[in-house]
Amino acid sequence: MEEKRETLLALYRTMVRIRAFEDAAEAASQGGVSAYGKAADGSAKVRGPLHLSTGQEAVAAGVCAHLEPTDYLTSTHRGHGHTLAKGADLARMMAELFGKATGFNGGKGGSMHIADFSVGMLGANGVVAAGMPIAVGAAHAQKLQRRPGLTACFFGDGAINRGPFLESLNWAKVFQLPVLFVCEDNRWSATTASGPMTAGEGASARAAGFDIPSFTVDGNDVLAVHEAAGELVGRIRDGRGPHLLHAVTYRLKGHVSVDPAGYRDPAELAEALKDDPISRARAVCAAIGGEGADLSVLDAIAREATEEVRAAVAAADAAPWPQTSAAFTDVQTTGEGQWR
């Protein structure tokens, strides 16, 4: 019971850090992009399309808790949560969203291209399913070089309708690669519900077609995600090849932060809000009893996260812009001698 409580508190901490980050980024992004009939007003600190993972935190937290620094991770355009959960520095990520020189990419990437190679996070991606072939390539390198580690490959429900999904699953199985495919199914493909656009039973059924074992889990139950991911990660580390986790969750916000998502049935959202993974984790914690029943512990963790994010926003705001000369660096270096 004590171990379960400790696990839950750690997962809770990851989730509330992600939530606090997303909430702050959302607030800083209003008016930051011309979309959905609204013009950018020039006042936003976080500019451009910002894809929030609000409500999906349990998937990032539950999966990444099992990852080591030697493991790789590829993510999606909705990748802040995965990045934080993999161990990336929160303040540098916020600075990147602000476009500042102190961000992970020195202001060259922004939200859609968040990466922290130092913790094995090989990048979010602005193109749906595009991280998948990169993930299997990274896993292929791990296998060829007899290195420890696996690659966790996050993608959304929309990605399973793109060719690279199918090519990557086939590839991973053919070469028996150490890949954990994670379908973070938030049930929306931009502003279109994914269900009517998807034939068959979805990600797990498609994995079965490649003889890739899969497991479907309630993606808003952080302990369930944690347990399922732990089982699959263990199998992969035992050399049993690729596995797929289908985590069903829900996107609480619009496609981007300025999308009011008026196309959704309000009842659907109301129902989803009752299923908020953070609220559910609090309820589970209370149910465990003992010290865990004292929600003030959870409140303290949440306050700490809010404070950490507040400081990150202030630091990002105060940080210097990149030099304009940076626009011309790291494009390519032609010539010999760079790698030898």
Partner 1 sequence: MALMTYAQAAVLAVRKEMEADPRVVVLGEDVGRGGIFGQYLGLQGQFGAERVIDTPISEAAIMGAGVGMALAGLRPVVEMRVVDFALCGMDEIVNQAAKNRYMFGGQGRVPLVARMCNGIWDASAAQHSQSLEAWFAHLPGVVVVCPSTPQDNYSLLRASMACGDPVIYMEHKTLWGLSGEVDPEVKIPLVKAQTLRKGGDLTLVSWSRQVAICEQACRELAQVGIEVDLIDLRTIWPWDREAVLASCGRTGHLLVVHEAVQAAGFGAELAATAAEETGCRVRRLGAPRIPVGYAPMLEAQSRIDADAVVKAAKGLVENRNLEKVHA
Instruction: Give min distance, CB of 134 to partner 1, in A.
Output: 4
* Tokens 């990336």 sit on residue: 88
* Tokens 């990149």 sit on residue: 322
In a 3-state reduction of DSSP, which class is residue 205?
A: helix
Instruction: Give min distance, CB of 179 to partner 1, in A.
Output: 10
Instruction: Give min distance, CB of 324 to partner 1, in A.
Output: 15
Burial of residue 267, with CB atoms counted within 10 A of its CB: 0-12 exposed, 13-18 middle, 19 or more buried? exposed
Positions touching partner 1 (CB under 8 A) are 72, 74, 103-109, 113, 115-118, 122-123, 125-127, 130, 132-142, 144-145, 151, 163-164, 167-168, 170-171, 174-175, 329-340
Q: Which C-beta is closer to partner 1: that of 95 or that of 278?
A: 95
Instruction: Give min distance, CB of 321 to partner 1, in A.
Output: 14
Question: Under a CB-based contact definition with an 8 Å cutoff, are residues 178 and 142 in contact?
Answer: yes
Q: Which C-beta is closer to partner 1: that of 39 or that of 331?
A: 331
Q: Which C-beta is closer to partner 1: that of 167 or that of 227?
A: 167
CA of 327: how far to CAs of 48, 95, 126, in Å?
18, 17, 19
Instruction: Give min distance, CB of 269 to partner 1, in A.
Output: 32
Which residue blocks in 195-251 are alpha helix, DSSP H? 203-209, 222-237
Instruction: Give min distance, CB of 118 to partner 1, in A.
Output: 8
Instruction: Give min distance, CB of 143 to partner 1, in A.
Output: 9
* CA proximity to 7, closest of 57, 55, 62, 51: 62
Q: Which C-beta is closer to partner 1: that of 146 or that of 274?
A: 146
Question: Under a CB-based contact definition with an 8 Å cutoff, are residues 236 and 173 in contact?
Answer: no
Q: Which C-beta is closer to partner 1: that of 81 or that of 103?
A: 103
Q: Which C-beta is closer to partner 1: that of 169 or that of 203?
A: 169
CA of 206: how far to CAs of 190, 212, 245, 332, in Å?
22, 9, 12, 39
Question: Under a CB-based contact definition with an 8 Å cutoff, are residues 280 and 15 in contact?
Answer: no
Q: Which C-beta is closer to partner 1: that of 43 or that of 145?
A: 145
Instruction: Give min distance, CB of 114 to partner 1, in A.
Output: 9
Which residue blocks in the chain are alpha helix, DSSP H? 2-29, 57-64, 80-85, 90-97, 131-144, 163-174, 203-209, 222-237, 266-274, 277-288, 295-318
Cα separation, 245 vs 215, in Å, equals 5
Instruction: Give min distance, CB of 53 to partner 1, in A.
Output: 20
Burial of residue 195, with CB atoms counted within 10 A of its CB: 0-12 exposed, 13-18 middle, 19 or more buried? exposed
Q: Which C-beta is closer to partner 1: that of 151 or that of 257?
A: 151
Question: Under a CB-based contact definition with an 8 Å cutoff, are residues 185 and 246 in contact?
Answer: yes
Q: Which C-beta is closer to partner 1: that of 54 or that of 142?
A: 142
Cα separation, 48 vs 51, in Å, equals 10
* CA proximity to 156, closest of 66, 51, 274, 297: 51
